[in-house]
Amino acid sequence: MGSEQIRRWESGALAHAVTDPFGQGPVPWLRGNVTYFDDTGQVVPWYVDGQAHPPTSDAPRVPAPRSAGPRSADDVHRQIKGFISTGAVAPGEAVDFHITVDPPQEFAVDIYRIGHYGGDGAAKITTSPRLSGIVQPAPLTADRTVSCHHWWLSWRLQIPSYWSIGAYVAVLTTVDGYRSHIPFTVRDNHPADLLLLLPDVTWQAYNLYPEDGRTGASLYHAWDEEGRLLGEADAATTVSFDRPYAGAGLPLHVGHAYDFIRWAERYGYDIAYADARDLHAGHVDPTRYRGLVFPGHDEYWSSNMRRTVELARENGTSLVFLSANTMYWQVELASSPSGVPDRLLTCRKRRGPGRPVLWREIDRPEQEVIGIQYAGQVPEPQPLIVRNADHWLWEATGAHEGDGIDGLVAGEADRYFPRAPLPDHEERILLAHSPYSDREGTLRHQETSLYRAPSGALVFSSGTFAWSPALDRPGHVDARVQRATANLLDRICKRD
């Protein structure tokens, strides 16, 4: 395998840039003066393809000076990588970190909470003591499933009772300046207006760790003996939560959730937090919330997840889907080899024995919940074309009938399928109808949907990946989308 291939793997480009409609992987979650360096000492952005800055023949590769700043760890050298062996935790509980450091040396963990924080995007909450790093054993593999459940415990963080619930990121930094990340969630069971569900099941489905050209596998990709990237037919059918995320340690599309969080906390919405696995495990009581918010790409759903959401809607809890291709694959969750619940994720796709795993193939199309469903990929961002501009969702946005909101149809798109059953509803409306061409040049369209269930619950689906980034991502913010989202949430939260 050549050095150019290895540099590409190190960059995280295969795991992140290929399917990211914005071409930049998870955007920097912390908007501070955080700089990363490559092995030549050049400044590089997150998840940059290593070939974007190839060393020239007369420019020898030299290590970046330690004083230059942190450098992003990778899955080839594993300078520092880690994961937590617990799901979402409550104040008073503990987070167990399992971390490998190569070469062995001391490291520290900074804990940040995601939020607006005056535009910084996050706030540092605490820092670990200086910890001793070791080289953990190589990942175990069995039939494409990669697991690090045998790694030793590196650090246990007891969550103080006074910590705020929310989305957190642990930043791991070695003495010689390499850095990696671990996301986690702090939740509790107190009532709130809105419950934000972080899509950790879908994050893990896309995780290609270790992205090393040899052993890494996701539900989409694996490698052959010559280091070539294979497709879905040869990918894993089961993936483990007991491993780091590929690249710098943040999941694909994690930025979409952070975009929504920064915007919603800026404007004071009363939000509780949980993971998709909490929905699966029955840790979520929907009656405590006026609405459930799904802020980013949320493609993989278990039967328990769907059942809980359907019951929520039937009991008057509204649903807000701010992405596309939601609830597409049906999955199963199982215990790890050590018996910890919900640490293995299985989706056989169209291979092997058992029932089909597309919800629409078992006569339960996702449209019955969401109001629309997945239609296809959008090769290049296109305008979202406003429809029914006199509806209250578009009130005070300045949007008129037929207006285009540039770049808002991106990544993947949903639409109404006339042959698929609709959910029971009192009223229903489509708020956008946007043409685009697929990769074969066929003209298709995207739609944005809203309906009111018989219980009174509102169910909104943006039908595009680009809605959350339009709330608070530099270069993508759109005031019309911000106001439309506020109109929706204010109505759900019964704000005047």
pLDDT in tens, 310-340: 999 999 999 999 999 999 999 999 998 888 9
Residues 75 and 191 in one domain: yes
Same structural domain for residues 228 and 292? no
Q: Is residue 108 part of a domain?
A: yes
Whether 83 and 206 map to the same domain: the answer is yes
Instruction: Determine, yes or no, domain membership for 279.
Output: no
In a domain, 357, yes or no: no
- Average of pLDDT values for 202-211? 93
CATH of the domain at 102: 2.60.40.1930
Quick check: helix, strand or coil at residue 309? helix
C-alpha dist (Å) from residue 419 to 224, 345, 366: 41, 31, 13
Kindly report the length of the chain: 496
More confident call, 310 vs 66: 310
Question: 89 pairs with which residues across the strands?
Answer: 186
pLDDT of residue 126: 94
User: Which domain covers residue 37, as residue numbers?
Assistant: 3-240
245 belongs to a structural domain: no
Q: Which uninterrupted H or E stretch holds 433?
A: strand 427-437
CA distance 27 to 47: 9
Does the pLDDT at position 12 exceed 60? no
Confidence (pLDDT) at 419: 94
Q: How many domains are contained in the chain?
A: 2
Residue 218 pLDDT > 50, yes or no?
A: yes
Q: For residues 293 and 406, state if they share a domain.
A: yes
State residue 373's pLDDT score. Answer: 96
CATH at residue 314 = 3.40.50
Look at residue 293 and tell me whether its pLDDT is greater than 70. yes
Among 58-67, 122-131, 346-355, which range has the highest average pLDDT? 122-131
Which tops the pLDDT comparison, 172 or 20? 172
pLDDT at 221 over 70: yes
The mean predicted confidence, pLDDT, of the chain is 85
> Per the omega criterion (within 30 degrees of 0), is the bond before 210 cis?
yes
Q: For residue 350, is pLDDT > 70?
A: no
Query: Is residue 484 included in any domain, yes or no?
Result: yes
Give the number of other Cβ atoms within 10 Å of residue 479's Cβ: 10
Are 186 and 302 members of one domain? no
Of 259, 344, 251, the closest CA to residue 15 belongs to 251
Partners of 429 in the β-ladder: 450
Residue 340 lies in a domain: no
CB 75 within 8 A of CB 209: yes
| Secondary structure (DSSP) of 227-257 | SPEE-GGGS-SEEESSSPPSTTS--TTHHHH
Tokens at 225, concatenated: 């003996």
Residues 458/488, Cβ–Cβ less than 8 Å: yes
Phi (first) and psi of residue 436, to 5 degrees: -155, 165
pLDDT of res. 338: 81
C-alpha to C-alpha distances, 440 to 22, 93, 153, 374, 470, nearest whole angstrom: 21, 51, 50, 17, 27
Q: Are residues 199 and 310 in the same domain?
A: no
Shared-domain flag, residues 173 and 120: yes
Residue 34 has a CB neighbour count (10 Å cut-off) of 13
| Together in a domain, 105 and 207 | yes
In terms of Cα–Cα distance, which of 383, 195, 374, 396 is closest to 297? 374
CA 232-342-346 angle, to 5 degrees, is 20
Residues 311 and 436 in one domain: yes
CA 379 to CA 235: how far, in whole Å? 23
Q: Check whether 140 has a pLDDT greater than 50.
A: yes
User: What was the pLDDT predicted at 356?
Assistant: 64
Q: Are residues 97 and 222 in the same domain?
A: yes
Residues 191 and 290 reside in one and the same domain:
no
Q: Which of 240, 274, 298 is the last residue of a domain?
A: 240
Q: Is 187 helix (H, G, I), strand (E, B) or coil?
A: coil
The pLDDT assigned to 51 comes to 32
Q: What is the mean pLDDT of residues 38-64?
A: 37
**Residue 270 clears pLDDT 80, i.e. is over it:** yes
Please report whether residue 358 resides in a domain: no
Tell me: the pLDDT tens digits for 90-119?
999 999 999 999 999 999 999 999 998 888
Per residue in 28-40, pLDDT (tens digit) is: 444 444 444 444 4
Q: Are residues 217 and 320 in the same domain?
A: no
pLDDT at residue number 62? 33
Is 276 a domain residue? no
Residue in the block written with tokens 């910590």: 163
> Does the pTM of the predicted model rise above 0.75?
yes
